Amino acid sequence: MSGYISNSWLWLQNQATTKARNFLLNVLAAGPIPKHVAFVMDGNRRYARMNQKAIQQGHKDGFVALRRVLEVCLRLNIHCVSVYAFSIENFKRDADEVNALMQLAEEKLLELCGHGDLLDEYGVKLNVVGKKALLPEPVQQAIAKAEEMTRHNKRAILNLCMPYTSRDEMATAVESCVNNALNKTPSDEEIIITERDIEDQLMTCLGGSPPRVDILVRTSGVKRLSDFMLWQSCEDTQLQFTSTFWPDFGLVDFIPIILDYQRKIWSKPS
């Protein structure tokens, strides 16, 4: 009997917490909301070491945090969320860690697209952005399945950047522009490539994302961009650095970031 009472009380607490969270998010959503938010999900390994966990468990807890943060963003009606999941440079890490990350990515990609999952519930289109040919074949197959299952979703976009660097994205875009121009321009005419041409060929823009990032958040206390969204993070992009490790990042950390964005929008000269 005592176990039943304890479980019932826990359920009531969870319900109250969820209602309070949703009320707060509804209030925030009444103000100006960014269209595109990007996250450098940093600190999984340090989080694992500080909590006496295996590195692989730190990455698993990082995926749990991604689901949690994504739901908050979707409830705020943020149209596009981009996350730095795996850099091309990360292939230089220990082989066991890389292999474990690839297995985790395959598992979570398929899980994300399960019937009734978060992407399905909120109508989110998944784009895996990066040099996908570098990934193991099973991960590429999981990506193809996940993208196909969500390609008709129109409400929001999740860019899962892996394996990605901004330099590679820009170089690939320029290469596409050159090839397109060579195919369309007569040999005796000058080839002209504009910023807009390059922007239109960025992997994120090809997937339907807004060309600019409104807020870029990096966790774990490190203050650098690490070759992420360099083209998109310009003009009015607000850079936000927090000391919280990514697996611990949540609503309490994100609310001040949104409030700071709203304050700056409201304080702009009309």
pLDDT tens column, 197-213: 999 999 999 999 999 99
Mean pLDDT score across all residues of the chain: 91
Domain span at 78: 29-165+211-261
Q: Is residue 102 part of a domain?
A: yes
Cis preceding-peptide flag for 34 (omega within 30 of 0): no
| pLDDT digit string, tens, across residues 99-131 | 999 999 999 888 876 665 789 889 999 999 999
Q: Is residue 201 part of a domain?
A: no
Q: Is residue 75 part of a domain?
A: yes
User: Judging by beta carbons within 10 Å of its beta carbon (0-12, 13-18, 19+), is residue 257 exposed, middle or buried?
Assistant: middle
d(CA 38, CA 166): 13
Q: Is residue 182 part of a domain?
A: no
CATH classification of the domain holding 133: 3.40.1180.10
Q: Is residue 7 part of a domain?
A: no
d(CA 126, CA 113): 9
Banded pLDDT at 5 (limits 50, 70, 90): low
Number of H helices, E strands in the chain: 10, 6
Per the structure, the count of domains in the chain is 1
Q: Identify the pLDDT of residue 217.
A: 98
Radius of gyration of the chain (CA): 20
Q: Is residue 35 part of a domain?
A: yes
Q: Where does residue 208 fall: left (phi above 0), alpha (psi -120 to 50 degrees), or beta otherwise?
A: left
| pLDDT digit string, tens, across residues 126-158 | 999 999 999 999 999 999 999 999 999 999 999
Q: Is residue 198 part of a domain?
A: no
Q: Is residue 195 part of a domain?
A: no
